[in-house]
């Protein structure tokens, strides 16, 4: 068996909600349907993992839920835009070939109509659900990628989470009046809400990891742009202007003569000193 596939299996975690769903399916006689759901979710996450493995990402774990899966990686927000888009989109793409295969199997007479209809609807639901612009779904990750292409990384993370949570509230309040006691709706909404809360609390850590990646020289940036600041600007405020996918040099504007400081030197000062709130003009005279 392929070593990459064994590594993938070793990182799989099945959420207790999925075990509960499997147990209920056995009791209610829907075990075949839950197996198909598990298969679709498994293939979806395997697509993410295959692309991440191709780009040598560090995948910590892959957790499977009844409504999809979540792959936790170390490279969140720290790789090239093209890599992040491919790794994100390759998961939902798996549903397209699964639906195509099911269509072929049905028309060749290898599958009964009831199972075929259920499998197609389930895959379509997973596809649309995962493309919603809500964290930590694939659509939410694409939204974050878009935000980092527009704003500095730190601001992008905050703006993205606020937009994502707003979308979650809109969707939840739109579906709630139709069936206020729908258990799946509440479970999914609570899970997504908790995910937003956890990611919001992790913002300083995510930003710090972004800066550490830059200082480690692991980027392949195509652009170099200046950041113009006043001598009174605090060091932390300056690095908060750093953008993903771009190298910077800092231009400290003074009345006498502008001073230019390389990004790497600014980052080294940030990590080696305890003066993150010190004026940059004082640190680089």
SS3 state of residue 90: helix
The burial class, CB within 10 Å (0-12 / 13-18 / 19+), for 16 is exposed
Indicate the helix (H) or strand (E) that contains 236: helix 235-239
Residue 273 DSSP symbol: -
Rg of the Cα trace of the chain? Answer: 23
Q: Whole-angstrom Cα distance, residue 184 to residue 172?
A: 12
Q: Provide the β-strand partners of residue 65.
A: 68
The contacts of residue 191 (CB under 8 Å, 6+ apart) are: 65
Indicate the helix (H) or strand (E) that contains 201: helix 183-201
End-to-end Cα distance, the chain: 60
Task: Please report the sign of the dihedral spanned by the C-alpha atoms of residue 127, residue 129, residue 132, residue 136.
Answer: negative
The burial class, CB within 10 Å (0-12 / 13-18 / 19+), for 14 is middle
Q: Whole-angstrom Cα distance, residue 14 to residue 20?
A: 10
* Residues carrying an active site annotation: 45
The contacts of residue 247 (CB under 8 Å, 6+ apart) are: 219, 221, 223, 224, 225, 263
Q: Whole-angstrom Cα distance, residue 125 to residue 105?
A: 20
**CA trace torsion 21, 24, 26, 30 (10° rounding):** -80
């Amino acid at each position: 068996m392929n070593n990459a596939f064994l590594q993938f299996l070793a990182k799989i975690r099945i959420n207790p909600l999925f075990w509960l769903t499997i147990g209920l399916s056995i009791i209610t006689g829907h075990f075949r349907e839950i197996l198909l759901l598990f298969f679709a979710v498994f293939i979806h996450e395997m697509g993410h993992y295959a692309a991440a493995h191709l780009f040598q990402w560090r995948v910590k774990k892959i957790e499977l839920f009844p409504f999809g899966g979540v792959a936790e990686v170390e490279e969140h927000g720290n790789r090239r835009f093209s890599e992040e888009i491919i790794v994100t989109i390759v998961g939902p793409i798996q549903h397209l070939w699964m639906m195509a295969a099911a269509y072929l199997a049905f028309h060749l007479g290898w599958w009964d109509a009831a199972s075929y209809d259920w499998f197609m609807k389930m895959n379509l639901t997973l596809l649309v659900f995962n493309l919603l612009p809500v964290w930590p779904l694939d659509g939410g990750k694409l939204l974050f990628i878009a935000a980092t292409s527009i704003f500095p990384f730190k601001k992008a993370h905050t703006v993205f989470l606020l937009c994502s949570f707003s979308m979650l509230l809109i969707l939840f309040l739109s579906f709630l009046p139709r069936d206020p006691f729908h258990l799946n709706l509440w479970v999914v909404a609570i899970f997504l809400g908790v995910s937003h809360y956890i990611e919001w609390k992790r913002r300083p850590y995510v930003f710090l990891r972004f800066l550490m990646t830059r200082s480690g020289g692991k980027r392949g940036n195509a652009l170099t742009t200046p950041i113009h600041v006043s001598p009174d600007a605090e060091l932390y405020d300056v690095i908060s202007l750093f953008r993903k996918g771009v190298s910077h040099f800092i231009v400290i504007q003074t009345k006498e003569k502008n001073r230019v400081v390389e990004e790497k030197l600014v980052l080294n000062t940030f990590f080696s000193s305890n003066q993150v709130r010190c004026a940059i003009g004082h640190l680089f005279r």
